Amino acid sequence: MYRPQIKVLDCTVRDGGLINQWQFTDEFVKKVFVALSNSGVDYMEIGYKSSEKYFSRKENGAWKFCSEDDIRKITDGFETKMKLSAMADIGRIEPEDIPNKKDSVLDMIRVACYVKEVDKGISLAHHCMEKGYETTINLMAVSKVLEKDLDDALDDLSKSSVPVVYLVDSFGAMYSEQIHFLAKKYFEALPGKELGIHTHNNQQLAFANTVEAIIAGINRIDATLYGMGRGAGNCPLELLLSFLKNPKFDIRPIFEVIQDMLIPLKSEMEWGYHIPYMITGILNEHPRSGMKAMAAEKLPDLKKFYEDLVDGTPLE
């Protein structure tokens, strides 16, 4: 599946940080950075841009905030063509927290928002563009949105200057038919814009759905090393690079960093396919209940866990 327009973004540190409050060592982030650069990946999303008005550094690691000093500890002294990205969530950052591009190591800021707040997302994205950054909007949790509301949000985005819009399967609930349906809808509603895809692995479909998105014409692709990410995780980067058949990619540095850093880390913290995440995925629910179940000393009765979610019973 060779298509030179495809650009791959790795969000291991950003999405994986949702597991451990971004408490990664500098050594871990540096080795991920070097491996991704040497592999030919186009973008590394190194974390979130968040306001210290809303989050504490006592509870969250450096990659919740992505200060310039912290990023430069990782990047200084290493020449790379790979670009750096950070994600900004609506309601968790102030415009003044984003420096001018000329003063930043970051190349791109991706704005994450829900359909109901797309106007705020567009405003922040335009603010980032005015400061000199590449910018995208990632519309989250669209599997829970009424089609009319999604159409209205896409119409607003079509009138914006934001060049890239991501289709996001936040709950790992989608099947290939939905990916194709939504890709077609996004393309028709957003002429002249690029589309991206971000998938979660609750039903072991993150890689398959990413492939479906590529077939549908989407060229901005998210993945993570060893599938690391919140809950069931994401599309595994190693599978994606193997599929793309682009000679610019070299998978060998990916294998090295997975063996050196990700496999040992997985023995300390859990991510990937598990039945509680599968249940939230098939029910199109936020994975928070699955994450709570996985964090407990003992798994709950899975039949009751499923029935409680189906019935809407509050989980203890």
How much is the pTM? 0.96
- The beta-strand segments (E) located in the chain are 7-10, 43-48, 83-89, 108-114, 134-140, 164-169, 194-199, 220-223
19-64 pLDDT, tens digit per residue, is 999 999 999 999 999 999 999 999 999 999 999 999 999 999 999 9
Domain housing 46: 7-266
Token readout for 21 is 């409050």
Q: Are 61 and 28 in contact (CB under 8 A)?
A: no
117 is a domain residue: yes
Q: Cβ contacts of residue 313 below 8 Å, gap of 6+? A: 307
| Same domain for 208 and 85 | yes
Average pLDDT over residues 151-174: 98
Please check whether residues 164 and 306 belong to one and the same domain: no
Q: How far apart are CA 103 and CA 175, in angstroms?
A: 42
pLDDT of residue 2: 80
Same domain, 12 and 153: yes
Number of domains in the chain: 2
- 231 and 111 in a common domain: yes
CATH of the domain at 211: 3.20.20.70
Q: Tens of pLDDT along 220-256?
A: 999 999 999 999 999 999 999 999 999 999 999 999 9
Domain match, 307 and 191 both: no
Task: With respect to residue 103, please indicate whether it lies within any of the assigned structural domains.
Answer: yes
Consecutive H or E run containing 210 = helix 206-215
With respect to residue 1, please indicate whether it lies within any of the assigned structural domains: no
- 2, part of any domain: no
Within a domain: residue 26?
yes
**Could you tell me if 231 and 300 lie in one domain?**
no
Q: Are residues 255 and 181 in the same domain?
A: yes
Q: Are 303 and 185 in a shared domain?
A: no
Does residue 293 share a domain with residue 166? no
